[in-house]
Amino acid sequence: MSEEHGKFIWTELMTNDREAAGAFYRTVVGWTTVEMSDYDYTVFEAARPDGDGRAGIAGMMRIPPELLAENVPPNWTAYVSVSDCDATVAKVAALGGTIRRPPEDIPEIGRFAVIADPHGAVLCIMTPVPMDVPPRPIPPTSPGQFGWYELYADVCEAAFAFYAEVFGWTVDHDMDMGELGIYRIFAHDGQVVGGMMTRMPQMQKAFWASYITVDRLDAAVSRLVSGGGSVLNGPMEVPGPAYIVNAVDPQGAFFSLVAAER
C-alpha cells in the first residue's frame, strides 16, 4: 500500500451554474479559474505561498443529467487517493458501504469511483496516474487551500472504524463537546487532516464537509454575503485557535471557511 493511500488529494464542486459559481469563489476565496475545454471542466487555482506561480486546488463541473434526474443538489465532494481503486471499492462494499459509481478511467488522470460509507456520506476515491514530477505540496494553512475535512456521521465511532479499515486513518485525539458528544480528530500518516462527529438531530443525513482556508474570516464572510451566499453557522472560534463559518453558495452548495484570524 502506497504512502499516498488515504490522503485527501482533490475537491470538486458539482453545480448547476458554473459561470456564476466560478465568479462567486473567485471573489470569496481569491481563486482564479482555468477552463479545461476537452473535459468541459473548470479548475480552481490558488497562488503558491512562495510566490512561484499558481497551483490547481479544486475542480468544478455541471451536475450530470442522470444526477439531476435524481434531484442531486449542488455539492462539494472530496477525493481520497487509494493504491488500488478496484480493491478499495471491493473493501468498501464488504464493510457495508455502497458504490455510487463503479471504477472508471479518466485518461491521463487516473482511475476513480464514487463511494458512500454505511451511513450514506459520499466521497470519491482515485488511483492517480503516476507523475514524473509530483506537484510540490502546499500547507493546508495557506490561503486558498482546503485546510480541513469534516464528517457528520450517524454514529461517529462506527464511521471511524469503517474509514480506519478502508484508508488506514488513525485517531489523533478526541475532544469532549458535552451534549454534542465526542469530536474525533483523525490523521493520515501521522498528520492531522480532519475530524468527525455524530451528526446533530437537525442534520437530515450523514455527509462530508470541506473547509477552505482564507486570510481573515470576517472579510471573507462579507464577500460571501455580498456575493449572494448565506451563512448557516458562525463565525465561531474553534481550538487551534481558529475561526470558522459554515455556509452555502448562491447555488446551494454547502461549504465552510477557516482562518487563523477574524
Q: Number of structural domains, the chain?
A: 1
Cα–Cα distance measured from residue 180 to residue 195, given in angstroms and rounded to the nearest whole number:
14
Helix (H) or strand (E) holding 205: none
For 167, the 3-state DSSP assignment is helix
Say how many Å lie between the first and final Cα of the chain, rounded.
Answer: 41
**Mean pLDDT, range 216-234, rounded to an integer:** 95
Residue range 181-202: average pLDDT?
A: 92
Q: Report the alpha-carbon distance of residue 249 to residue 108 in Å, rounded.
A: 31
Which has the minimum average pLDDT: 91-100, 135-144, 195-204?
135-144
**In this structure, which long-range contacts are made by residues 88-94, counting pairs with CB atoms below 8 Å and at least 24 apart in sequence?**
88/113, 88/115, 88/125, 88/166, 89/113, 89/115, 89/125, 91/165, 91/166, 92/117, 92/166
Q: Are 195 and 186 in contact (CB under 8 A)?
A: yes
Contact at 8 Å (CB) between 45 and 34? yes
Instruction: Give the DSSP per-residue string, 105-147.
Output: EETTTEEEEEEE-TT--EEEEEEEPP-SSPPPP--TTSTTSEE
Listed residue (108, 180, 185, 115) closest to 151, CA to CA = 185
Q: What distance lies between CA 68 and its chain's CA centroid?
A: 21
Q: CA nearest 110: which of 88, 94, 95? A: 88
Question: Residue 124 has which C-alpha cell?
Answer: 470519491
pTM of the model: 0.94
Bridge partners (DSSP) listed for residue 111: 105, 127
Mean pLDDT of the chain: 93
50 vs 117, which has greater pLDDT?
117
Confidence of residue 125 (pLDDT cuts 50, 70, 90): very high
In which domain, by residue range, is 175 found? 1-262
Q: What is the pLDDT of residue 134?
A: 62
CATH code of the domain in which 217 resides: 3.10.180.10
Query: Rounded to the nearest 10 degrees, what angle do helices 18-29 and 217-226 cross at?
Result: 150
Map residue 169 onto helix, strand or coil: coil
Residues 6+ apart with CB under 8 A from 205: 119, 120, 121, 199
pLDDT at 202: 81
| Contact present, 247 and 257 (Cβ < 8 Å) | yes
Rounded CA separation 223/185 (Å): 30
pLDDT at 237 over 60: yes
